[in-house]
Amino acid sequence: MSQALAHIVDDDEAIRDALTWLLRTRNVAARTWASAEEFLAGWQPDFHGCIVLDIRMKEMSGLECFDVLLERNNSMPVIFLTGHGDVPMAVSTLKKGAFDFLEKPFDDNALVDVVIRAMETDARKQASQETQATVAGRLAQLTPREQEVMQLVLAGKFNKVIADELNISMRTVEVHRSRVFEKMGVRSAVELAQLLAPGRD
């Protein structure tokens, strides 16, 4: 897993350097990309941290880049930078899930704070997505029959009822049930229910 980085995407080298310097003096690791195309080409699903994205760039704009990232289910927070933004643009990007939208010239401290908060947000999301992925992986290991049985178990039904509904014997249900617990890494139906319905907040 690659380290958390602030990915700076801007076609102006002076800005890239300035941002990199600014972030590094605050102990935030950064990596730069000279264009949206370059970033999208080098983008890996295991990237994490955040993205600082200039809107006005030659060729592909930051807005278009953002749309591509959305299609790719990018989960990193995106912070837009722009010198010529307008209200509808800001509203639209934020409603699409952008983390923030800053106008140039921006305050150095404000930017660093936003970047740090974005990276913290990503770290939290990352952690929760990993446990989600683990659960999904375990679910995938269940055979179709085991998944059926699991659903009925989660519905709170007795083994006897499950056996009737599936037209199999109770003993078979017990075997499936046991395998489900084993493969899902739990030791009771209660733990299973909690694993598949994690807390809100």
- Given the rule CB under 8 A, which residues bind its own copies? 85-88, 90-91, 94-95, 100-103, 153-154, 156, 186-194, 197-200
**Please, are residues 50 and 77 in contact by the beta-carbon 8 Å criterion?**
yes
Spatial separation of the C-alpha atoms in residues 37 and 94, rounded to whole Å: 22
What is residue 126's three-state secondary structure?
helix
Size of the site for DNA (CB under 7 A): 23
Q: Which residues of 21-49 are buried (b: 16+ CB within 10 A; e: fewer)?
A: ebbeeeebebbbbbbbbebbeebeeebbb
Nearer to DNA, 122 or 146 (CB): 146
Stretch 117-146: interaction string toward DNA, x if CB under 7 A: --------------------------xxxx
Stretch 181-200: interaction string toward DNA, x if CB under 7 A: x------xx-----------
* Token reading at 31: 């990596």
- Exposed/middle/buried for 15, CB within 10 Å: 0-12, 13-18, 19+? middle
Stretch that binds DNA, among 5-13, 47-55, 112-120, 157-165 (CB under 7 A): 157-165
Which among its own copies, DNA, none contacts residue 97 (Cβ within 5 to 8 A by kind)?
A: none
Which among DNA, its own copies, none contacts residue 199 (Cβ within 5 to 8 A by kind)?
A: its own copies
What is residue 186's three-state secondary structure?
coil
Q: Kindly list the residues in this chain that would bind DNA in the complex (CB under 7 A).
A: 143-146, 158-160, 163, 166-172, 174-178, 181, 188-189
